[in-house]
Amino acid sequence: MHEALGARFTEFAGWLMPVQYTGAIEEHLAVRTAAGLFDVSHMGRLEVRGRDALTLIQKVTCNDAARLRDHQVQYSALTTERGTFVDDLTVYRFREDHFLLCVNAANREKDLRWIRQHREDEEAEVYDVSDQMAQLALQGPAATEILQPLTDVQLDHIRFYWFEQGEVAGVSALISRTGYTGEDGFELYIPAASAEWVWNRLLDAGQSAGMKPCGLAARNTLRLEARLLLYGHDMDETTTVWEADLGWIVKLEKGDFIGREALRRQKAEGLRRKLVGFEVLDRAPAREGYPVLIHGRVVGQVTSGSYAPFLRKNIGLTYLPIEHTAIGTRFHIRVRGREVEAEVVPTPFYKRPR
């Protein structure tokens, strides 16, 4: 299905993934101005079912899942005892005894083991349902007008980070108003066997609106413009939730959870470093892994960096010592043997018009 559209592929987390179709910049701009369609079926999907499903999720995640109502979605993290990331994830509540967790593809098996390992007396089962489902993301300002003719669900009634169940192109679907691009849009969870059918119906429906099929390359630059972090790059098991500047998903007051004491202590003592967004004051983009220097001393490296097609700037993310994280602070990045200047800027770099 992707080869017929001229996709170029790369291996990612055991999957052969489309990197781009017509070109990463063209696809990026289509999402910002019209719409793009992504096949993100590589993501992991875990179901938690049972009387104590909520109790188990409260134990292993740092956000407060008890605040969720039925059909609401929450961004959260699985945290280690040190308050660092096992993974970041989205939590979908069907009922108090039934949740769906969308996790990173490379962490699917690790996350499943982690949750099961920390299940004690809770009456809850955790299942890997990844292979049973496909996941398509329709993103961009034209997403609603493209999807609405294909579904009986009233899309205007689905709020951001909520979902409904219905049909898309005659196929049973979970329709979630979520995404990883910084745009309005929907993620569709459908039976794996129906993926090609729904994909093609969406492509047909979006043609007149300027929608394009999009690959991993555009997804990466879109999420970076919106300052949406990527596990294994911007955070991992060596970085805490506070350090990643995701404190809004830490709810210390909810009660005990794995990593709570470490996060409470770090908040009280103060941070030594924090993730910041930067703009390169040079024509050269700063790529992941490039050394970051302050006063000639290497203090870290770029965690994500790229040319931003919509903003037409070179942007990125890096961890800096806390005393150098103020907006306007300048530092240097070693780009192919040359030190170029960069400046800490407010994030997200891009925020969609409301």
Is the pLDDT reported for residue 242 higher than 70? yes
Say if CB 5 and CB 36 are below 8 A apart. Answer: no
- On the question of a common fold for 1-270 and 272-345, the answer reads no
Q: Which residues contact 241 (CB under 8 A, 6 or more apart)?
A: 62, 77, 79, 83, 84, 85, 235, 247, 249, 250, 259, 263
Amino acid at 9: F
pLDDT digit string, tens, across residues 6-24: 668 677 667 787 888 899 9
Domain ranges of the chain: 1-270, 272-345
Consecutive H or E run containing 185: strand 185-191
The pLDDT score that the predictor gives to residue 347 is 98
> Residue 16: what pLDDT?
81
Architecture per CATH, 272-345:
Beta Barrel (2.40)
Segment 303-342, tens digit of pLDDT: 999 999 999 999 999 999 999 999 999 999 999 999 999 9
> Before 348, cis peptide (omega within 30)?
yes
**CB-based contact 212:22 (threshold 8 Å):** yes
Across the range 28-47, mean pLDDT stands at 97
pLDDT at res. 105: 95
Could you tell me the fold of the domain covering 1-270? Answer: Gyrase A; domain 2 (3.30.1360)
d(CA 179, CA 299) in angstroms, rounded, equals 33
| pLDDT value, residue 9 | 66
| Alpha helices per DSSP H over the chain | 24-33, 53-60, 108-117, 143-147, 195-206, 216-225, 260-269
Are 214 and 36 in contact by the 8 Å Cβ rule? The answer is yes
Would you place residue 283 in the very low, low, confident or very high pLDDT band (cuts 50, 70, 90)?
Answer: very high
